[in-house]
Amino acid sequence: MTSAAPHAAIRTQVRIPLRFTDGYSTTALVSTFTGLVDGREHLALECGTPPPVPLVRPHSECLTGDVFGSQRCDCGPQLREAVERITVAGGHLLYLRQEGRGIGLYDKLDAYALQDTGLDTYEANLALGHAPDERDYTVAAQMLQALGVSTVALLSNNPDKAVQLERLGVAVAARVPTAVHRSEANAGYLSTKARNGHHGLGSVERSGTVPPSTAAAG
């Protein structure tokens, strides 16, 4: 059943130059919001010139990967890839404060400690009393509504994002896969996401990455 997300509004917009550690740079129009249901400080970054069906990446915050370059996940490389692809295609990166698939930073680090004893990423969440994935994309739908976006090309390998957005009234015209940023450190993590989380990661056992696909609605 489809139900529209509660109304939210743009609070502030400011243009910020971005530069990544590999030298890639772009400019983003950063929006903050009022009325978001969870009260957290989520951000939308508009890069490039959005077409009628923009490329949209809901990216869950990962301090260890996004900021410190942790190799235990693929979050930092996915963020870097998304910003460049959205700049080229035109669209929005939604930076969602949902650390550790929604369980928070400290519990995520506790989950890492459990993974070091042999549990996988989903089993560790369960052992801590959490669901395997507690993320809720209501705020993503609210942000898109406030930005005037009703239909998206969704840049994601996670089918749950498309299911939740569709249920919240955001039409997903296409689901565009991201590259597979595999390393020796995160290979098991990626395999678990493909097996248990149904992420469309192709063959994560291959070396290297899968080239990004071109965004196309349809």
Tell me which residues are annotated as active site. Answer: 133, 135
Beta strand residue intervals within 80-168, DSSP E: 91-96, 151-155
Measured CA to CA, the distance from residue 66 to residue 21 in angstroms comes to 11
Half-sphere exposure of 201 (CA within 13 A, CB side): 25
- Best CA proximity match to 40, nearest among 57, 15, 61, 68: 61
Coil vs helix vs strand at 119: coil
Q: Are 53 and 98 in contact (CB under 8 A)?
A: no
Q: Are 155 and 178 in contact (CB under 8 A)?
A: yes
160: which DSSP letter?
H
